[in-house]
Structure 1
Amino acid sequence: MAKLYFRYSAMNAGKSTAMLQVAHNYEEQGQQVRLYTAAIDNRYGVGRVTSRLGPQRAVEVFTADTDFLADIPKVACLLIDESQFLSPPQVRQLHQLAQTRGVPVICYGLRTDFLGEPFPGSAYLLALADDIEELKNICTCGKKATMNIRVDAQGKRIKEGEQISIGGNESYRQACGRCFYAE
């Protein structure tokens, strides 16, 4: 039976690397997969999944208008990076796709934003996913990182602003809960 999977972590835990590895494993066995990332994530160019380790790949993009039930033919697996940017209805479509069409769907994304607030897509993934896995990362203090901190150009923490601000290591860092609240 196919499932909806949510693999989440704080920033920089290797979510994109893991997704690219899963795609490689399917394709190495001659199976077709479809990969998506959020159109608003333009850090490495629109429609590119790029690992900090170097591997990258052109993929399809999803927007608020993407209808996964209408757009997905029969494939061995559907992989979605930056899944925190999915809308709640899109998460429900992905759950339905797995349950009624037998297509495994693996979503990779953040659970919370820089204020510790859930992204709507992530909240629905936590509610509907058949399988939830945390990918581990480390805080600068050595404890397990579970939170994200937004920083300015000088590395100072930003504690207000829009929920979505696209950026990488220059804009965000991961933290454990203690360090998240200490700053």
Structure 2
Amino acid sequence: MAKLYFNFSAMNAGKSTMLLQASYNYQERGMRSLLFTAALDNRTKIGEISSRIGLKSEALVYDTKMDLFTCIEQQINQQTINAVFVDEAQFLTEEQVWQLARVADHLRIPVMTYGLRTDFQGKMFPGSAALLAIADILREVRTICWCGSKATMVARLDKAGNIVEEGDQVVIGGEESYISLCRKHWSLCKLGDPTDKNNDAVAEMMCEPVEL
């Protein structure tokens, strides 16, 4: 039975890299994967999923009005589709998450979604909330805070590098940037301590694979 998967994390955990690698694994075996990315994500080329390490692939663009079940059904009427991948899944609507569930349940195609769990204020994205509620398989993609602890929160920074605590939930393409922090340092709005004697140890840890 096909399943709906939700791979979630904080920022810069390598979600897009994992998505592209998994899609490539299908293609390498002669199977077809169908990729989607959010219209809201305009950080790079619209209609392209790209990772920080340089991997990229073209993808269909979805907005909040697209019926994903109908779109995928139309695609499989034209060619065989063995798997569906959705990047930036936090931007899905609740209805679209149920549409993806129908793809798994009725079209019998596995659907792998990748996205953030919470925004910069620690609030759940609607798409992420729905996926956490109904996805068959939940997988946490781990990354670490500057202190070396597991990062679970996302902080928004202004152009001066200061933490922003107010504003719209979604701001893409502006002068803001994002960083992942553990819950403790997110709560303290603490981005790091250059005098901390443990910083060298943390730097070494950042260079090593994180055990999942």
TM-score range, shorter chain: over 0.9
Residues 108 and 69 of structure 1, relative CA distance in 2, 3 Å threshold: same
Alpha-carbon distance in 1 for matches of 2:174, 2:51: 11
- 1:90-112 CA distance string (max 9 Å, x none): 00000111011111000000000
Alpha-carbon distance in 1 for matches of 2:152, 2:61: 27
Alpha-carbon distance in 2 for matches of 1:141, 1:158: 20
Any stretches of 5+ residues in structure 2 without a counterpart?
A: 190-212
Residues 179 and 55 of structure 1, relative CA distance in 2, 3 Å threshold: same
Taking CA–CA contacts closer than 8 Å with sequence separation of 6 or more, which of the two structures ends up with the larger relative contact order?
A: 1
Equivalent in 102, 114, 131 of residue 125 of structure 1:
131
Alpha-carbon distance in 2 for matches of 1:30, 1:138: 36
Verify the 8 A CA contact 2:101 2:135 in the aligned structure 1.
yes
What SS class does the counterpart of residue 109 from structure 1 fall into?
A: strand
- For 1:18, the aligned partner's letter is M
**Cα distance, 1:169 vs. partner?**
10
**Cα distance, 1:168 vs. partner?**
9.5
Alpha-carbon distance in 1 for matches of 2:2, 2:173: 33
Q: Quick one: percent identity of the two aligned structures?
A: 48
Residues 174 and 168 of structure 1, relative CA distance in 2, 3 Å threshold: farther
Normalising by structure 1, we get a TM-score of 0.97
Verify the 8 A CA contact 2:146 2:181 in the aligned structure 1.
yes
Residues 122 and 79 of structure 1, relative CA distance in 2, 3 Å threshold: same
Verify the 8 A CA contact 1:43 1:168 in the aligned structure 2.
no
- For 1:4, the aligned partner's letter is L
What SS class does the counterpart of residue 179 from structure 1 fall into?
A: helix
Equivalent in 89, 93, 98 of residue 87 of structure 1:
93
**Cα distance, 1:56 vs. partner?**
1.1
Alpha-carbon distance in 2 for matches of 1:98, 1:15: 21
**Cα distance, 1:65 vs. partner?**
1.6
Q: Which of the pair has more CA radius of gyration? A: 2
Alpha-carbon distance in 1 for matches of 2:7, 2:22: 12
The residue aligned with 2:108 is 102
What SS class does the counterpart of residue 5 from structure 1 fall into?
A: strand
Alpha-carbon distance in 2 for matches of 1:42, 1:50: 11
Q: Indicate yes or no: 2:68 matched with 1:68.
A: yes
Moved over 2 A (4+): 167-170
